[in-house]
């Protein structure tokens, strides 16, 4: 992964990539875009293969259990 992004303490991230059968080493770019109006965070992954996966989650979902507050993108 690039830019020193370390998702080790982000259980929701791990649950989402596991659901999508993505290996962390295959991720080329992670984009996180906050939406302050709806208190949501858009997550977009670009894999080295060119495949793109995305989802949205509550901004406070970093402190929740996996699966809470997730909307498929």
What is residue 35's predicted lDDT score, i.e. its pLDDT?
A: 79
Nearest CA to 72 out of 43, 30, 36, 38 is that of 43
- CB proximity list for 34: less than 8 A, separation 6 or greater: 40, 41, 42, 59
What pLDDT score was predicted for residue 19?
A: 94
Query: What's the pLDDT at 36?
Result: 74
pLDDT band at residue 12, thresholds of 50, 70 and 90? confident
pLDDT of residue 28: 93
Please name the residue that has the structure tokens 């402190």. Answer: 63
pLDDT in tens, 36-72: 777 888 899 999 999 999 998 887 765 544 455 555 5
Are the C-beta atoms of 14 and 66 separated by less than 8 Å?
yes
Q: What is the pLDDT of residue 9?
A: 62
């Amino acid at each position: 992964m690039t830019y020193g992004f370390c998702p080790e303490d982000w259980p929701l991230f791990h649950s989402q990539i596991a659901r999508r059968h993505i290996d962390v080493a295959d991720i080329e770019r992670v984009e996180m875009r906050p939406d302050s109006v709806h208190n949501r965070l858009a997550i977009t992954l670009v894999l080295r293969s060119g495949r793109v996966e995305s989802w949205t989650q509550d901004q406070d979902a970093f402190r929740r259990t996996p699966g809470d507050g997730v909307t498929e993108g």
